[in-house]
Copies of this chain bind each other. A is one copy, B any other.
Amino acid sequence: MEYRFSNKIANLKPSAIREILKAPSDADTISFAAGNPSPEAFPVKELAELAQKIFEEEPVAALQYSVTDGYGPLRKAIADRQKKVFGIGRDFDNTIVVSGGQQGIELLCKVMCNEGDAVAVENPSFVGALNAFRSCGARTVGVPLSEDDSGLDTDALEETLSSNADIRFLYVIPTFQNPAGTTTTLEKRKKIYEICLRHGVLILEDNPYGELRFDGEEVPTLKSMDEEGIVVYCSSFSKILSPGIRLGFVVAPDPIAQKMVVAKQSEDVHTNIFFQILCYRFLTEYDLDAHIRRLRALYGKKCRRMLDCLAKELPPSVKFTRPQGGLFVWCTLPEGTDAAGFIRACVDKNLRIVPGVTFNADTEAPSRCFRLNYSMPSEAQIEEGCRRLGEVARQFVKS
């Protein structure tokens, strides 16, 4: 039988990154491609202790069906923590649990967009979000990041919202952006909020890396400025506890949160309740802040190592961002470089990096960029990987 698929899915490609991660590898392969936490980053002993306690003390609650909006005590613990750490959450907001930040992103698009509606996105942006919007039948309209690493080009945002009446919301990762690694300045955040408010366009603020700052000063979240109920805030425990447990959350004006819950019910009924309880108990019985301080130190060290190696190995004409947190460095090859050839040459040297085209709102547009991850490789691998990158760069880039 010939199968005919829905328009929105027929042309959707699997994430290039997930495909890269599935490719065969050997002991010599070095991957800067993943967005994974470091394998050293999981508090295994504590999680094991809690799991055992849950099986002893509340097994039925942890294994039975549960409510769609999330385990009540966890929702409250998350709301309290977001208030304390990021100044987030007003009377009109509600906090719900989702199956990873990814689900929060997809659900907002589902509840807001009819097929053919549009979502404005930073260009480049997180491919998982771009694909989520596409999987709902929405168009992605790219707004470029400024060349000076200050975040979204707000003039371009103004122009985009003025000329596209069907944009239902703007998706941004203001802090330690994926893939660019940059952080939007406070001034620009205020400007973004003002522009979106004026155009009646919601903001989806994705902040999965916000707790992973190892350098510089905190910048207030967009959600902390949200007096008018136009910001939906999405984050997760993937980068601070474990991504494998698929546990995220959304703080949104209650009418939006309610609709997201209705849509979530149809997707997976609820998020794995065992790990919701476990996460709640971790938040209340252990010291998450101390754990996060360890992660910050670990990632800060790895990032500085990567930046040092890149400075040493790459010709000056290859530009790269200097993140103050998060997981990624974003590199831009000089004009005229054969970027596709560059990527292939890295593959030939057993080095995996993610080509910039992956993150483009317009998948047909070219890119001279690539993304590097420093959380997953060891420091020795960072050093050796950058050495290989330097070899390829000296071959492809006229310095």
| Partner pick for A229 among B1, B111, B273, CB 8 A cutoff | B1
Interface residue A356 (Cβ < 8 Å from any Cβ of B): no
Interface residues of A in 224-259 (CB under 8 A from B): 228-230, 238, 242-246, 253, 255-256, 259
Contact A9 B111 (CB under 8 A): yes
Residues on A lying within 8 angstroms of B by beta carbon are 1, 3-9, 12-15, 18, 21-22, 34-37, 39, 42, 44, 47-48, 51-52, 55-56, 59-60, 62-68, 99-100, 102-103, 106, 110-115, 117, 128, 131-132, 134-135, 137, 200, 202, 228-230, 238, 242-246, 253, 255-256, 259, 261-263, 265-275
Number of copies: 2
**Contact A244 B36, CB 8 Å, known A128-B265, A267-B267:** no
**Contact A65 B243, CB 8 Å, known A55-B47, A230-B1, A265-B128:** yes
Min distance, Cβ A24 to any Cβ of chain B, angstroms? 14
Beyond the given pairs A15-B265, A100-B269, 5 more chain A to chain B contacts, judged by CB atoms under 8 angstroms and listed by A's residue number, are A22-B67, A42-B64, A106-B266, A244-B273, A272-B272
A137 to B115 CA separation, bound complex (whole angstroms): 9
Contact A262 B13 (CB under 8 A): yes
A52 to B52 CA separation, bound complex (whole angstroms): 7
Contact B6 A266 (CB under 8 A): no
Min distance, Cβ A305 to any Cβ of chain B, angstroms? 21
| Partner pick for A48 among B7, B21, B52, CB 8 A cutoff | B52
Closest 9 CB pairs of A and B: A48-B55, A63-B242, A135-B266, A244-B273, A132-B266, A44-B59, A99-B268, A9-B111, A272-B272
Residues of the B chain whose Cβ atoms lie less than 8 Å from the Cβ of A228: 1
A246 to B267 CA separation, bound complex (whole angstroms): 11
Contact A39 B60 (CB under 8 A): yes
Contact A64 B51 (CB under 8 A): no
Contact A131 B9 (CB under 8 A): no
Residue of B nearest to A42 (CB): B63
A228 to B1 CA separation, bound complex (whole angstroms): 7
Residue of B nearest to A39 (CB): B60
A1 to B103 CA separation, bound complex (whole angstroms): 24
**Contact A246 B272, CB 8 Å, known A14-B261, A51-B55, A60-B42:** yes
